[in-house]
Amino acid sequence: MLKMKSVSKTYRTDMVETHALREFSLTVDEGEFVSVTGPSGSGKTTFLNIAGMLEELTSGTYELDGRDISSLNDRERSKVRNEKIGFIFQSFNLIPELDVFDNVDVPLRYRGFNADERKRRIEKCLDMVGLTSRMKHYPGQLSGGQQQRVAIARALAGEPRFLLADEPTGNLDTNMAESVLDLLAEINDGGTTIIMVTHELTLANRAKRNIFVRDGQVSDGPPELHFAAAANA
Protein backbone atom coordinates (compact mmCIF):
# COMPACT_ATOMS: atom_id res chain seq x y z
CA MET A 1 0.00 0.00 0.00
CA LEU A 2 1.17 3.53 -0.86
CA LYS A 3 0.17 6.17 1.64
CA MET A 4 0.98 9.87 1.51
CA LYS A 5 -0.22 12.19 4.21
CA SER A 6 -0.03 15.98 4.08
CA VAL A 7 2.92 15.83 1.73
CA SER A 8 4.35 19.13 0.59
CA LYS A 9 7.07 19.75 -1.91
CA THR A 10 8.58 23.18 -2.32
CA TYR A 11 11.26 24.12 -4.81
CA ARG A 12 13.36 27.04 -3.71
CA THR A 13 15.72 29.26 -5.60
CA ASP A 14 17.29 32.50 -4.41
CA MET A 15 14.37 34.47 -5.82
CA VAL A 16 11.39 32.17 -6.03
CA GLU A 17 9.61 29.60 -3.93
CA THR A 18 7.37 27.18 -5.84
CA HIS A 19 4.90 24.92 -4.05
CA ALA A 20 4.60 21.87 -6.29
CA LEU A 21 2.56 19.86 -3.78
CA ARG A 22 0.51 21.23 -0.88
CA GLU A 23 -0.94 19.06 1.86
CA PHE A 24 -1.11 16.25 -0.66
CA SER A 25 -2.74 13.14 0.83
CA LEU A 26 -3.42 9.94 -1.06
CA THR A 27 -3.72 6.26 -0.37
CA VAL A 28 -3.34 3.68 -3.13
CA ASP A 29 -4.23 0.12 -2.25
CA GLU A 30 -2.59 -2.98 -3.57
CA GLY A 31 -3.74 -3.97 -7.06
CA GLU A 32 -5.24 -0.61 -8.00
CA PHE A 33 -4.82 0.97 -11.43
CA VAL A 34 -4.83 4.69 -10.78
CA SER A 35 -4.68 7.41 -13.36
CA VAL A 36 -3.38 10.81 -12.32
CA THR A 37 -4.56 13.73 -14.42
CA GLY A 38 -4.34 17.44 -14.11
CA PRO A 39 -3.28 20.53 -15.99
CA SER A 40 0.30 21.28 -16.84
CA GLY A 41 2.31 22.32 -13.79
CA SER A 42 -0.30 20.97 -11.39
CA GLY A 43 2.19 18.66 -9.61
CA LYS A 44 1.44 15.32 -11.30
CA THR A 45 5.03 14.53 -12.11
CA THR A 46 6.26 15.80 -8.75
CA PHE A 47 3.82 13.41 -7.09
CA LEU A 48 5.12 10.57 -9.26
CA ASN A 49 8.77 11.44 -8.50
CA ILE A 50 8.09 11.49 -4.78
CA ALA A 51 6.14 8.25 -5.03
CA GLY A 52 9.11 6.74 -6.85
CA MET A 53 11.55 8.21 -4.34
CA LEU A 54 13.35 10.15 -7.04
CA GLU A 55 12.76 13.28 -5.00
CA GLU A 56 12.51 13.96 -1.31
CA LEU A 57 9.42 15.54 0.14
CA THR A 58 9.60 18.83 2.01
CA SER A 59 7.10 17.87 4.72
CA GLY A 60 4.47 15.24 5.48
CA THR A 61 4.79 11.47 5.59
CA TYR A 62 5.09 8.82 2.93
CA GLU A 63 4.72 5.13 3.67
CA LEU A 64 5.33 2.37 1.17
CA ASP A 65 4.12 -1.04 2.29
CA GLY A 66 3.91 0.29 5.81
CA ARG A 67 7.46 1.62 5.86
CA ASP A 68 8.21 5.31 6.36
CA ILE A 69 10.56 5.95 3.50
CA SER A 70 11.48 9.51 4.48
CA SER A 71 13.88 8.18 7.10
CA LEU A 72 15.80 5.94 4.70
CA ASN A 73 19.33 6.70 3.56
CA ASP A 74 20.36 6.65 -0.10
CA ARG A 75 21.33 2.98 -0.16
CA GLU A 76 18.08 1.91 1.47
CA ARG A 77 16.00 4.12 -0.80
CA SER A 78 17.77 2.70 -3.82
CA LYS A 79 17.10 -0.81 -2.60
CA VAL A 80 13.40 -0.12 -2.04
CA ARG A 81 13.18 1.56 -5.44
CA ASN A 82 14.88 -1.37 -7.09
CA GLU A 83 12.76 -4.04 -5.42
CA LYS A 84 9.32 -2.48 -5.14
CA ILE A 85 9.00 0.09 -7.92
CA GLY A 86 9.11 -0.07 -11.69
CA PHE A 87 9.27 3.03 -13.85
CA ILE A 88 7.89 3.64 -17.34
CA PHE A 89 8.78 6.95 -18.93
CA GLN A 90 7.23 8.86 -21.79
CA SER A 91 10.50 8.83 -23.74
CA PHE A 92 11.26 5.18 -22.94
CA ASN A 93 14.72 6.01 -21.58
CA LEU A 94 16.47 2.97 -22.93
CA ILE A 95 20.27 2.96 -22.92
CA PRO A 96 21.27 3.18 -26.58
CA GLU A 97 24.56 1.30 -26.34
CA LEU A 98 22.94 -1.72 -24.67
CA ASP A 99 20.86 -4.26 -26.55
CA VAL A 100 17.33 -5.18 -25.47
CA PHE A 101 18.52 -8.02 -23.24
CA ASP A 102 21.02 -5.80 -21.44
CA ASN A 103 18.55 -2.93 -21.06
CA VAL A 104 16.10 -5.21 -19.27
CA ASP A 105 19.03 -6.54 -17.26
CA VAL A 106 19.91 -3.15 -15.69
CA PRO A 107 17.67 -3.23 -12.59
CA LEU A 108 18.42 -6.91 -12.07
CA ARG A 109 22.15 -6.19 -11.88
CA TYR A 110 21.56 -3.82 -8.98
CA ARG A 111 19.38 -6.45 -7.35
CA GLY A 112 22.31 -8.86 -7.24
CA PHE A 113 20.66 -11.83 -8.95
CA ASN A 114 22.91 -14.48 -10.44
CA ALA A 115 23.21 -14.85 -14.22
CA ASP A 116 20.72 -17.72 -14.50
CA GLU A 117 18.05 -15.92 -12.53
CA ARG A 118 18.55 -12.73 -14.51
CA LYS A 119 18.30 -14.60 -17.79
CA ARG A 120 15.13 -16.35 -16.69
CA ARG A 121 13.45 -13.10 -15.68
CA ILE A 122 14.57 -11.21 -18.78
CA GLU A 123 13.29 -13.91 -21.10
CA LYS A 124 10.00 -14.14 -19.21
CA CYS A 125 9.41 -10.38 -19.38
CA LEU A 126 10.39 -10.07 -23.02
CA ASP A 127 8.05 -12.94 -23.79
CA MET A 128 5.28 -11.10 -21.96
CA VAL A 129 5.75 -7.97 -24.08
CA GLY A 130 6.21 -10.04 -27.25
CA LEU A 131 9.82 -9.10 -27.98
CA THR A 132 11.72 -12.34 -27.42
CA SER A 133 12.85 -12.29 -31.02
CA ARG A 134 14.36 -8.79 -30.61
CA MET A 135 16.56 -9.64 -27.66
CA LYS A 136 19.81 -8.76 -29.45
CA HIS A 137 18.46 -5.63 -31.13
CA TYR A 138 19.54 -2.20 -30.04
CA PRO A 139 16.99 0.50 -29.16
CA GLY A 140 17.74 2.37 -32.35
CA GLN A 141 16.63 -0.66 -34.33
CA LEU A 142 13.15 -0.74 -32.73
CA SER A 143 9.95 1.23 -33.31
CA GLY A 144 8.64 3.56 -30.62
CA GLY A 145 6.04 1.04 -29.51
CA GLN A 146 8.63 -1.70 -29.30
CA GLN A 147 10.94 0.52 -27.30
CA GLN A 148 8.17 1.26 -24.82
CA ARG A 149 7.50 -2.47 -24.55
CA VAL A 150 11.17 -3.01 -23.74
CA ALA A 151 10.86 -0.30 -21.08
CA ILE A 152 7.83 -2.09 -19.65
CA ALA A 153 9.73 -5.39 -19.65
CA ARG A 154 12.57 -3.62 -17.82
CA ALA A 155 10.12 -2.20 -15.28
CA LEU A 156 8.59 -5.63 -14.72
CA ALA A 157 11.80 -7.66 -14.57
CA GLY A 158 12.31 -7.03 -10.89
CA GLU A 159 8.65 -8.08 -10.23
CA PRO A 160 7.85 -4.77 -8.49
CA ARG A 161 4.73 -4.15 -6.42
CA PHE A 162 4.22 -0.74 -7.99
CA LEU A 163 4.52 0.43 -11.55
CA LEU A 164 4.82 4.20 -11.99
CA ALA A 165 4.14 5.37 -15.52
CA ASP A 166 4.69 8.97 -16.62
CA GLU A 167 2.77 9.62 -19.85
CA PRO A 168 3.64 6.12 -21.10
CA THR A 169 1.90 6.62 -24.41
CA GLY A 170 2.86 10.25 -24.96
CA ASN A 171 5.31 9.44 -27.72
CA LEU A 172 3.24 6.74 -29.42
CA ASP A 173 0.61 6.76 -32.14
CA THR A 174 -2.93 5.68 -31.29
CA ASN A 175 -2.55 2.02 -32.20
CA MET A 176 0.68 1.61 -30.32
CA ALA A 177 -0.75 3.53 -27.37
CA GLU A 178 -3.71 1.16 -27.26
CA SER A 179 -1.52 -1.89 -27.29
CA VAL A 180 0.67 -0.50 -24.50
CA LEU A 181 -2.43 0.27 -22.43
CA ASP A 182 -3.70 -3.25 -23.06
CA LEU A 183 -0.40 -4.52 -21.77
CA LEU A 184 -0.61 -2.34 -18.65
CA ALA A 185 -4.12 -3.55 -17.98
CA GLU A 186 -2.93 -7.13 -18.30
CA ILE A 187 -0.11 -6.44 -15.87
CA ASN A 188 -2.55 -4.86 -13.43
CA ASP A 189 -4.78 -7.91 -13.72
CA GLY A 190 -1.76 -9.89 -12.57
CA GLY A 191 -1.80 -7.95 -9.28
CA THR A 192 0.71 -5.17 -9.87
CA THR A 193 -0.39 -1.75 -8.67
CA ILE A 194 -0.15 0.87 -11.40
CA ILE A 195 -0.08 4.62 -11.05
CA MET A 196 -0.18 6.35 -14.41
CA VAL A 197 0.20 10.06 -15.05
CA THR A 198 -1.58 11.18 -18.21
CA HIS A 199 -3.20 14.26 -19.62
CA GLU A 200 -5.44 12.32 -22.00
CA LEU A 201 -8.99 11.63 -20.93
CA THR A 202 -9.32 8.44 -22.98
CA LEU A 203 -6.28 6.94 -21.38
CA ALA A 204 -7.34 8.02 -17.91
CA ASN A 205 -10.60 6.21 -18.43
CA ARG A 206 -8.74 2.92 -18.84
CA ALA A 207 -7.73 3.10 -15.17
CA LYS A 208 -9.94 1.74 -12.40
CA ARG A 209 -9.55 4.88 -10.31
CA ASN A 210 -8.91 8.44 -11.29
CA ILE A 211 -7.39 11.21 -9.26
CA PHE A 212 -7.04 14.77 -10.30
CA VAL A 213 -4.19 17.04 -9.25
CA ARG A 214 -4.56 20.76 -9.30
CA ASP A 215 -2.33 23.36 -7.67
CA GLY A 216 -0.50 20.60 -5.90
CA GLN A 217 -3.56 19.14 -4.28
CA VAL A 218 -5.50 15.99 -5.04
CA SER A 219 -9.17 15.09 -5.52
CA ASP A 220 -10.84 11.83 -6.52
CA GLY A 221 -13.61 11.44 -9.04
CA PRO A 222 -14.41 10.79 -12.70
CA PRO A 223 -11.83 12.44 -14.94
CA GLU A 224 -14.49 14.03 -17.17
CA LEU A 225 -15.58 16.16 -14.24
CA HIS A 226 -12.12 17.42 -13.62
CA PHE A 227 -11.29 17.95 -17.25
CA ALA A 228 -14.48 19.99 -17.64
CA ALA A 229 -13.72 21.99 -14.50
CA ALA A 230 -10.21 22.61 -15.68
CA ALA A 231 -11.47 23.72 -19.07
CA ASN A 232 -13.92 26.17 -17.46
CA ALA A 233 -11.37 27.51 -15.04
Residue numbers at the binding site for another protein (CB under 8 A): 45, 49, 52, 54-55, 74-75, 78-79, 81-83, 87, 89-91, 93, 95-98, 106-107, 109-111, 154, 158, 166
Residue 129 · residue 183 · CB < 8 Å: yes
d(CA 39, CA 231): 9
Q: How far is the CB of 152 from another protein (least distance, A)?
A: 13
Q: Within a 10 A sphere around the Cβ of 75, how many other Cβ atoms? A: 8
Q: How far is the CB of 74 from another protein (least distance, A)?
A: 5
In our burial notation (b when 16+ CB lie closer than 10 A, e otherwise), range 139-169 reads beebebbbbbbbbbbbbbbbebbbbbbbbbb
Q: How far is the CB of 63 from another protein (least distance, A)?
A: 20
Nearer to another protein among residue 89 and residue 209 (C-beta): 89
Q: How far is the CB of 147 from another protein (least distance, A)?
A: 13
Q: How far is the CB of 199 from another protein (least distance, A)?
A: 14
d(CA 93, CA 151): 7
**Concatenated DSSP letters for 160-178?**
-SEEEEESTTTTS-HHHHH
User: Can you tell me whether residue 55 is helix, strand or coil?
Assistant: coil
Nearer to another protein among residue 79 and residue 124 (C-beta): 79
**Concatenated DSSP letters for 80-105?**
HHHHHEEEE-TT----TTS-HHHHHH
Nearer to another protein among residue 154 and residue 206 (C-beta): 154
Nearer to another protein among residue 15 and residue 75 (C-beta): 75
Nearer to another protein among residue 84 and residue 206 (C-beta): 84
d(CA 188, CA 173): 22
Nearer to another protein among residue 55 and residue 123 (C-beta): 55
* Residue (of 168, 177, 163) closest to 86 by Cα position: 163
d(CA 94, CA 56): 25
Nearer to another protein among residue 33 and residue 87 (C-beta): 87
Q: How far is the CB of 31 from another protein (least distance, A)?
A: 23
Q: Is 41 left (phi over 0), alpha (psi -120 to 50) or beta?
A: left
Q: How far is the CB of 187 from another protein (least distance, A)?
A: 17
